[in-house]
Structure 1
Amino acid sequence: MSQEPLIEPSSDAVPPGNVGKRRRSLSSGLRVAFAVAILGALTLTLVNRFEDIRHALSNLEWQQVLVSLGCVALGLFAQWHAWHALLAGTGTSTPPRHTSAQIFFVGQLGKYIPGGVWTLLAQAELGSAHAVSRSRSLVVGSGALGVTVVSGAGVGGLALALASPGFLSTYCWALLALPAGAVALTPRVFNWLVALVLRTTRKDVGDLAVSAKPLMLSALWSSAMWLAFGFHAWVLVRALGGRGDHVGLVTLGAVTLSWVIGIVVIFAPAGAGAREVALIALMAPVLDAPEALVLALSSRALLIVGDVAASTAVAPRYIRAKLTAARRRR
């Protein structure tokens, strides 16, 4: 039986008086410090990889880069909708979509800081300013991450298995993700797993739960995200001379499974290093190692550009809203 979404707890409400003012000041300071840390980590990533990124992109025509970047934008759009579906399914009040986009895309920059939890914490802080409790944000963030992993493993395993009989014998283990994912995305199991994960971090989420419809919608949007990211890489692979009859399927499978591996390696910022190594290995049947390296670095560069562009697009409205709220408090 599907679980109905429950009314979110009000434990995150800001208390009145001086205590509330001190808490708001502390929260604002933490947000500023977090923003500085994000920008520093992102800048360091770009500086450390600048030469490799420049060399990789120089092998591609600008038209191909633009088409691939457009696919990245579609993938990020679908990823946001997968997250928003869970947000809408865990409470009675949901922020407008433009506010939801601000919380998601600005908070997403936290993945460039090693540790694997900064995106969740950033979205929790950003959401708390828009009547979204921190506990609800943690459920949504960790749940969206689980949907991403399950759908990625399923799509990736299926794509590689369908590519050829050889792939089927090599990657038949990945097909186990399909029935396992179907079970994991049932409301009872999904909510239990999310609560278990958050319990290890000593976070109490109360009775928050996700019902079947938001889970299904999130999984569909997440699958659309993988298709868009797979097409983004396929455009690059074609430009690099990918060979074989099933280049598209191999590329889709390699991209999704390497991304899942990058998520699992939580100590790497945005899966840096782990994702590239996995992608190069999985692309071996259709690309030689040098071309696969160019693919990995080019894909990483375009994904960084996409993240920065998305957060930049929504940040001005977020900043204006914060300034307006600060003036009202005065």
Structure 2
Amino acid sequence: MSKGKIKLILKWLGRLITVFAIAFVVAKITDYSQQINIKSLSAQTYFITAFCVLLYAFGNLLLARAWGLLLSGLGSQLKRNSMIWVFGLSQLAKYLPGNVFHFANRQILGVEQGINNHTLLKSSAWEVGLMIVTASTFSTFLITYYFPGLTWLSLVSFFTLNAVLAGILLRISNINCVKAFGLYLLFFTLSGSLFSAVYLSLSTHDGVGQWSLLIAYFVIAWLVGFLTPGAPAGLGVREAVLIVLLGTTAHQETLILAVLLSRIITVLGDLLFFAIASFYRPRQKISTN
């Protein structure tokens, strides 16, 4: 089979994955929305949810930039438009069963933009490793879960651990890897903050002291979902972990509503970023290896 035919097959395979991903996401949005009593939501909750969708779409931009930095650290350069397009169009495929299709689609689109397969594979490996390590650092906030009066120790442990990890990354890799690590920290903090905002808008509890712990719970739930084999984008797993972690302190109905709204926010945010990324389609190959 000629090289041209292989490229054509890969291109259509990428498009097929994207179409299936969109259909799967729309089905999930419909399913989640049917589980929520729309009439019970206040105008404030609607506003917060919509605003969180916009912020989560921005969070995807942080992830795309981090991936671009990893590529740069591996010797390949992608211009901003191409980086956003490749990452944004492939990201929706994470919702397909298997939890690997976004990497496969990114591989296809990346090769189409002139990046070699080996570099793309290494960037994906670095991305997975860094995201797992970064998310794991939020477990330091569990100190507050067991010892409520030691919030300061959680914060000190969190910042100290991340400073040490940044130093290690700088020694074993390069500054671009450290910058990507920082962007992953920002992304997880943002994602957890969005869940916190939704949860606290529905809860009657004073949320000032809960904010950092809620962020940690969300990130830990994300990590468990991410590490669960076959769970597309952690669907079901993340929600179950959040319910377990917060089940003893939160009103059950409020908690379930917050968890469902949080998932709708992430799905709609990913869909919005996909739509935005579609406008960044590069006209030609613009990578340098």
- Normalised by the size of structure 2, how large is the TM-score? 0.84
How do 1:1-330 and structure 2 match up within 5 A?
A: 19-52=2-35, 54-55=36-37, 58-61=40-43, 62-91=46-75, 93-154=76-137, 156-162=138-144, 165-166=147-148, 186=168, 211-241=173-203, 243-244=205-206, 246-284=209-247, 286-318=249-281, 321=283
Rounded Cα–Cα distance in structure 2 between residues aligned with 1:184 and 1:287? 35
**1:229 aligned counterpart, secondary structure:** helix
Count matched residues.
Answer: 279
Which structure has the larger Rg over C-alpha atoms?
1
C-alpha separation in 2, matches of 1:136 and 1:239: 44
Residue-by-residue CA offset, 1:104-150 (whole Å, 9 max, x unaligned):
11111111111122111111101111111122112112211221111
1:248-275 deviations in whole A, cap 9, x for unaligned? 0121111110011110013111100000
Considering only aligned residues, what root-mean-square deviation do their CA atoms show, in Å?
A: 3.1
Q: How many angstroms apart in 2 are the aligned matches of 1:56 and 1:292?
A: 16
Equivalent position amino acid for 2:24 in 1:
A
Q: How far apart are the structure 1 equivalents of 2:134 and 2:124?
A: 15
Q: 1:291 to 1:219 in 2, by over 3 A?
A: same
Gap regions ≥5 residues in structure 2: none
Residue 49 of structure 1 aligns to a residue whose secondary structure is helix
Aligned amino acid, residue 281 of structure 1: V
Using a 3 Å threshold, how does the CA distance of structure 1 residues 286 and 72 change in structure 2: closer, same or farther?
farther
- Aligned partner of residue 131 in structure 1, secondary structure: coil
Shift of the alpha carbon at 1:246?
A: 1.9
The amino acid across from 1:310 in the alignment is: F
The separation in 2 between residues aligned to 1:60 and 1:146, in whole angstroms, is: 40
How has the CA–CA distance of structure 1 residues 312 and 56 changed in structure 2, closer, same or farther, with 3 Å as cutoff?
same
Query: Could you tell me the TM-score, scaled by structure 1's length?
Result: 0.74
Q: Which has the higher contact order (CA 8 A, sep 6+)?
A: 2
Distance 1:167 1:212, change over 3 A: farther
Q: How far apart, in 1, do the equivalents of 2:146 and 2:55 lie?
A: 26
Q: How far apart in 2 are the matches of 1:213 and 1:114?
A: 35
Post-superposition shift, 1:58? 4.9
Sequence identity of aligned pairs in percent? 18
